[in-house]
Every structure is written in C-alpha cells, then in structure tokens.
A and B are shown apart, each in its own frame.
Chain A
Amino acid sequence: MRRFRFSPALPKTPAFTLGDGLIMLGIAAVLFVGTRLAFHAPAVVRGPEISLSPFALPWYALLSVGRMAVAYFLSMLFSLFYGYAAARNRGARLVLMPLLDILQSVPILSFLPVVLLGLAAIMPQSVAAEVAAIVLIFTSQAWNITFSFYQSMTTIPMELREAAAIFRLDPWARFKVLELPFAAIGLLWNSMMSWSGGWFFLMAAEIFHVGSRDFRLPGLGTYLQSAANAGDLRAVMAGLVTLILVIVMLDQFVWRPLTAWTDKFKVEMTEGDEPPHSWFAAVLSRSWLVEQFGRRVWTPFSEWIDARLQHPLSGHIEPPERLPERGRSPFVIIVAVVFALLALYGAYRAIELLITLPHEIWPRLGLGLGATLLRVIASLIIALLWTVPLGVAIGTSRKLANFLQPMVQVIAAIPATALFPIVLIALLRLPGGLNIAAIVLMLMGTQWYLLFNVIAGASAIPQDLRLTTELLQLSRVDRWRTLILPALFPYIVTGAITAGGGAWNASIVAEHVEFGGQTVSTIGIGSLIANATGEGQYALLLAGTLAMVLAVVLINRLFWQRLYHIAEERYRLE
C-alpha cells in the first residue's frame, strides 16, 4: 500500500511581510510585461487539425508525454540550482524562499492567457503555444520539487555533514555522495506529485481556445476534446484508454522502479516491513545487459566525470554552516534593491494600464471573484462530504483499503481537465449547465487531495486511542467529535489548501467553453479572463489575472495558514 503524504510547505508566520508585498508587485510587473507584449499578438490564431483516427493516438500520446518530459526536465534542473543556492547561500535564501512561498500559492493556470498571448506576439504561432504549454507545466511542477530539495538540503543531519567535511569531500563529491542521495526520496515523491499535477495543466493548455484565437496543440487533450465535440463516443473511449494506458505505463516502467530503487536512500537505519517492490526493477536488476552497461559504461563514465569535477586535496575545506546566521551581504542588498526598483516600476506601469479601465469594470470583477469563490467553496464542501466518511473507512480498515485503494489511485490519476469535455456532453443541457459543470470540474480535480489526506490521517490514529474510545463505549457522534474529527483536522486542512488552489485553477478552463460550435459562459473570474483573452481586452486581462492571484494569496495567508497553524499546534497527534 502506497502512503500518500501531501503537505504544503507553509512559512512560520501567517503575517504579510514587506518582502511578500514586493514579490506581489514583482508578479504584477511580470504580468504587465506579458500583457504589454500581448498588444501585438495576432488577432486570429488558427488551431491544429485534429485527426480522430485511432492510429493517430500514439503520435498524440507521444507529443503530450514529450511536453511533460521537457517541462519536467527543466523543473528538475531549476529545482536543483535554486534549492542549492537557497540552502547554501544565506543571502540568496532571504530572497529565494519568500519568492518560492508566494509562487507556490499562486493559481498558475491564471497565467496561461497572458503567457500565450505574450509569446504569440514574439514567436511563430505553433512554437508559441508549445512554449506556453511547457512554461505552464514547468510553473506547475517546479515549486514543490524545489521546496523539497531545499528542505532536504537543510535537514541533512549535522554529523553526516561533518563527516563530509572531515573526510574532505569537495563540493561535487559532497553533492554526489551526500546531498543528492539524501534528497532523492523527497525529489521522487514530489516528482510524482508534479507529474500528476502537470497532466492537469497540460490538458488545460492543449485545449485552450477562445473566440478567434485557437491556441490548441495536437495531443491527447485536444484529441479527447475534439472527439467529445464531434460526439464521437468511440474516439472518446479510445482517447481515454490511451491516456490511462500512458499513465499506467509511466507508473509501472518509471515511477515504481524508481521508488523501489530510491528505497536505499532512506536514512532510517532499519529495514522497512514492506519495502516498495517493482517487478520491472527486479527484471532490470537481474539483466545481464544492465549489469554490463553498469560495469563498462556507467562506472567509467562516472569516474571520468568525477575526475573532471573533483579537486582532490584541494587544500581548504570549509566547515559546515551551523546556525542560520544573520546579517546581509552587500551583494544581496544590491540584488534586492534592483528587484524592488524593477518591481515598483513594473507595478507602476501596470497601474497606468489598469486605470484606463472604465469604472463599471471593477464591480464586475468583484462579482466574478465572488461567484468563483462560491463555486470553490461548494466544490470543497461536496468533496468533504464524501471523502471524509470514505477516507475514514479506508484508513481504518485494512480489508477495505486493500480492495479500494488501487482503484481509487487509478481513477485519481486521470487528469480532470481531460475528462472535462466529456462531462460537458452530459451536463451542458441541464438547467444551470455550465455553472454545475464548472463545479464538477473543480471537484474532479481536487477531491483526491482531500481523500488521500483523510486516508493518511485516519490510518495515523493510534490503535490504543481507537481501542480506548471503544472501551469507553462512546456513541458514534461522540466518537467522531472527540477522536476522529480532531485527529483528522490537520490532514483535512492540508488537503483543503491544495484542493482549494486546484479549484481556482480549474475556473480558467471551466467557466468559458466553446463546445460543439457554440460558446457558453457563466459569471466568474475565470470566464472574465478567458473573454478578455478572446476579445483582446488586455487591460481587463491584466486586471482579472491580478485580482485572482491577489485573492488566492490573501485567502491562503489570512484563512488557510491560520487554520493550518492551529491544526499543527493543537491537533497534531505525536
């Protein structure tokens, strides 16, 4: 049974700092640059022709996986450099960590229109959409991997670091022997999380289409959308089967073998009861070819690399850093000042653009935010209503877990955005169609975070507490009130933070759809942003995106983080 641990990394203080304010201004500045570029975006963007032939599917699957792989490779590279710099250099840490903190809670999908339009202005159409998709997936994947690497780097046991210093490992050897192995398990777990998150964004990016601007990309997401659009149920099934097959194959041939392999990087000095197993890894480890490759190619190659990068007896070895020391280097102050000036200037220009908006726009923005917020809340409540009872049942019963967990995992692995066109077929004709469909999409994308967290929380309730509650013969209500709900509380809060963020993201593709030749829209900040993109109202696009980012960051800071800290302090079972 795989254990899921989703825990968003939150800073210690729920309060806003000057740095946070600057970072928000910086984001405004970046968005402004994107919007400014978008002024020159072509008014008509032609989308790709999508073939519904099943023989086209392998090619589309390859394209989709390729985009994911490129974005993931970039994310990993970014994470290693960024995390290393933040952990090793206390000056860099002062800037990099608050930045990461905000970037983690920003609704990434809201950037999609700005990025697409901005890139379309400076690149050929087909390239722009590809690059935008990769940028988007990158921004959805990179932060948690980076944070995990940073956290690993800063939690390496002191004695291991001291051993590295006393045995004179130079920076490269230290990275290879200590830092990377120590971070490996966290990196892998977060890579898996990032991939499943990435699918959601890839599908959204592939199917993005407003008005005369068709930014779609050939891939599995567009295939499913076109099939649903054409009402071709056979093609829908073929597309879905392909998508599930791709996800299962990645799991079997990449993630599981890696999980089994990285088990050796755990720091605990005890053998686990159930070490992760992978049949593919077992086959590989017995293979003659792999062994020969290791002996003849990999070992000489790594020795060669080491010889290039290592400086034996390089004389001076720095002692490992101990306490996080205070004090700022002049370099950091200069960087911070330059960043602050650029952010301020960009924000000023952004405001210049924003005040060109007519006054009656602002109430509409507020209304849109409110409507989307209500949908997010509704989807969270519905998700809680079914995930808590089921999660507790799975978490406390081994029998049920063995039976249900694998099924839940496969279903959860399907990105909600891929299913969205199919959901539309069913729901669009109902009264309140898109309104309900939007909530369903938010729900599909986010309920799993809650479910897995509830399962984790329920299975973490100590056996003796459960037995005691039974011995006391508490009524069902009392049992939930005194034991189960308090014990679940921290897990529900962590799940809800992630789920809430996902729901906001979903609004971008859920509130404005073009389906079967007609355009359907409902009130919401997502539809506002999509409309502005289609009609080329750049000031409105900027205002909408900024409003959404600000709203989500504020809700996180003012509501979720407080709840999270209460949960951590009061209800964490040790």
Chain B
Amino acid sequence: MTPANGEVLLELNDVVKSYGTGAKQFVAVSDINLKLSQGEFTCLLGPSGCGKSTLLRIITGLNRATSGTVLYRGQQIKGVNPHATIVFQTFALYPWLTVQHNVEIALKARGVAPAARVERALKLIDTVGLDGFESAYPRELSGGMRQKVGFARAMAVEPELFCLDEPFSALDVLSAEALRGELMELWMNRAIPTKAILMVTHNIEEAVLMADRIIVMSKDPGRIVTEFRVNLHHPRQRKDTAFQAEVDKVYAAVAGKKAPVTEGEFAQRKLPHARLNALTGLVEKIAGEEDRRADLPDLSAALNFELDDLLPLVEAGEMLGFIAVEDGSLALTPLGHTYAEASILARKELIAGRILRQPLISWIYDTLQRDDTRSTARSYFFDQLKGEFGDRAEEQLDMAIRWGRHAELFAYNDDNGELYLEDHNHH
C-alpha cells in the first residue's frame, strides 16, 4: 500500500556532531549511518537529549555535522538543503504576518510572482481547512490551526523531503489526532508531491500509528540503537492487538537499551534527572497494581507522564534497586516493596543507604566527613567534577545535592554556597 519505490533519497555516513573541545566536549550524536528511501515514512524516536532533533537539522542542512557525510541524491549538501522543509514543534510562524502572508513568504523567497503566489497560498490554506482565516494573525488561532498553517507553508514549496519536528507535541490531544489523520490522508493519497517523510517524535504510539520505519535512538551519546519496520495496514487502529503488540515491542526497546554500566567511574554512573519524591509516587503506584507490576505504556497514560518524564524515574528506580524492567513492564523488587510499605522516616534511611552506593554521592559525603568543619564549598565539588562530566557537571552536582538533601545525608546553604553535614545530635 505504501508508495515505495526504494530509490535512496538521503544518505548519512558516520555522522558525528559534537560541541566544544577537550573536557567540555559534548557529543550530541555519534556514528549515525542512515538511508532514507523514496516513498518511506520514517520516524526518529527517542527520549529527549538523544539528539534526534539535532539529526533532523543535520539532514536539512540547518546544522553542520562535525564529521561524516550527508548526501542528498548522491550529492554532498552545502548550506540549507533546498529540497527539504520542516514543520516545527513550536510552529515557527511569524506572529506579525497573517496566515496568508505566512504561507506566501515561503513562495516569495523562491521568486514566485505575486499573482501566482497568492493563488497557490489560498489553495493550500483551503487544502488544510483554514478557508476563511486567510487574514487572521497566528495569535488569533488555536494551536491546531496554527500547525495547519505550518503544514500549508511547508507544502507550499513542494518539498521532496518533508521533515516534521515533533509537530503534534505542542497540541491538545484531539487536534493532534485530527491533524495526524489529515497528514496521513494527504500522504497516502499522494495529494502532495512529497517523496519521503521524516518525523521526529518521542511518542511511541504516534510513531507506530504513522511510520513505515521506526529508528530508535538513545542518549549519552545520541546514537541509533535499533530499527523497526511497521507493516500494519493503514489506517491503523490503536485498539488492535497487533498495534498494541507493536507498541509494546518498541517500548521495550526504548526503555531497555542503556549504556553498559561499570562500577567506579562517575561518568558511567550518571544520576538520572529525577526527583525522589516522584520516584516514591511511582513506587507506590506500582505497589497498588496487581502483581506489583505495570506496563510502561499504561503507566505513562495513567500518570499522565510523557515517556521523557517517566524514563528518568524508571532509571532512578533501577539504580536504587526498587524497580526491575522486564519487556516493557515494571516490577517492584522486594526492596521496592519494603520501601512502599515503610514509614516516612524509614524511607529516608532506606533511600540514604541506597544513594550512598552511588559513587558521586558517596564521594561528596566522604569529603564532607573528612573536613574539619564538616563543610565544603560547592565550587570545590564543581571544579572536581568538570573534568569528569564537562558540560553536565552543573546538572549532576545539582542532582546529587537534591538527592542528598532529600535523604538528609547532607545539607546545602545557597547563600554561601556551602555543602555541610547536619549536626545529628539535635535530632
């Protein structure tokens, strides 16, 4: 059913993108090898920070790769790729231009004469269903309507490669669903001259619903971990068991793949960006389920959490030994069960014991214990961590301080920037 004829449109070879140099170097994506063929609808899927948006920008020429080659129809791209266009997450409409002018400007830049560009703009506005709103300003429109303008503008230039950067994530549920349907209709009926679509998303169901091919990415550094082909027929139904099975399969891949952990080195034991309060909530939620286990997709829906918010919590839960991940579902460990049942004080002690196994936190704690005044400046820790974590040092130290404070291992005075051990005699 998909209009695939297989000719390679875009090819990425060993693409790496990094910022800065030396200890401060941050690798956004590395070792990317990827081919996009004509007739394919491809999704780049992964948690935030995995570099999927960076990759999209490298493909469209909005960002230069540090090394590796980006070929379009066999040619190395220079500057912005003229055959590609983007629909942006935040719409990127010019607020001071009317709907019609927002669409027209794309045509004007390509040298289309005034009369012709008015005609084409009006036709496209009609196509996306915004007839009657030509002279409205974007701020007068709802989010869904704004994104329709974004689609009309992108289609106006008749791109071969249509790129979508989380186009539905800033919309409400209903508008997003409606717009997905409309896009699929245009694509499947070949109402647009587009040769291939590439969509970035962190929404697994959305990817399974729309794509022929799902490329799963992971972070630290951003890289491709695996790839799925989705062979379900369109229009796909979310309730179908085949659809659900597909979603579970992708979930397992996204949640399961992490960089291998080796003890000792800080860099390999990064603290996930998670609040311990929220982790407690998650543990309690799982404890309330049958068998003390829950499916990730169900949890994400029940807690109204995006995958991006949920995954760091799961990671923290695994790290502390409260949660185990098995095939896209979460189970409580015996320790997690104890934690869920414990009193507030007992929980603090349990947490304190567990997080002290994290090298970063135990190092801070030991340093403070060895100090005569039992306090040390934050900047000392920061300087030590810079070599290890580079740009992430600040974030890691903040996380460690947060966790340490939560467990009452140590305290922090923001006014003088000192970390210190609290006097336990007063407890």
Contact = CB atoms under 8 A, between A and B. Distances in A.
- Chain B CB count within 10 A is highest, among A169, A269, A316, for A269
B108 A173 contact: yes
A520 interface: no
Given A165-B62, A320-B62, A159 B92 contact: yes
24 contacts: A157-B92, A159-B89, A159-B90, A159-B92, A160-B94, A162-B57, A163-B88, A163-B92, A166-B85, A166-B86, A173-B109, A177-B97, A184-B96, A264-B95, A267-B95, A269-B139, A316-B78, A317-B79, A317-B80, A317-B82, A318-B80, A319-B62, A319-B64, A319-B80
A334 interface: no
B61 interface: yes
Nearest to B165: A159
Contacts of A306: 108
Interface string B97-116: 10000000110111100100
A323 B94 CA distance: 23
Given A162-B62, A173-B105, A266-B95, 17 more contacts: A157-B90, A159-B89, A159-B92, A160-B94, A162-B92, A163-B93, A166-B60, A167-B153, A169-B109, A170-B109, A267-B95, A303-B114, A310-B109, A317-B79, A318-B80, A319-B57, A319-B80
Nearest to A173: B109
B105 A177 contact: yes
Interface residues of B, number: 37
A160 B92 contact: yes
Contacts, number: 92
Interface residues of A, number: 36
Interface string A138-177: 0000000000000000000101101101111110010001
A129 B351 CA distance: 77
A313 interface: yes
A67 to B, nearest CB: 33
Interface of B: 19, 57, 60-64, 78-80, 82, 84-86, 88-90, 92-97, 105-106, 108-111, 114, 137-140, 146, 153, 157
A270 interface: yes
A127 B141 CA distance: 56
A98 to B, nearest CB: 24
A312 B86 CA distance: 20
Given A163-B88, A168-B109, A269 B62 contact: no
Lowest 4 CB-CB distances: which A-B pairs, in order?
A312-B111, A163-B92, A159-B92, A317-B80
Given A159-B89, A322-B63, A167 B94 contact: no
Contact of A318 (B79, B97, B111): B79
A489 B96 CA distance: 36
B88 A181 contact: no
Contact of B85 (A167, A184, A322): A167
Contacts of B137: 264
Interface in A309-356: 310, 312-313, 316-320, 322-323
B105 A169 contact: yes
Contacts of A166: 60, 62, 80, 84-86
A181 B101 CA distance: 14
A318 B93 CA distance: 20
Nearest to B143: A269
A269 B95 contact: yes
A170 B146 CA distance: 24
Contact of B94 (A181, A313, A318, A319): A181
B79 A316 contact: yes
Contacts of A312: 108-111
Given A159-B88, A173-B109, A313-B111, A265 B95 contact: yes
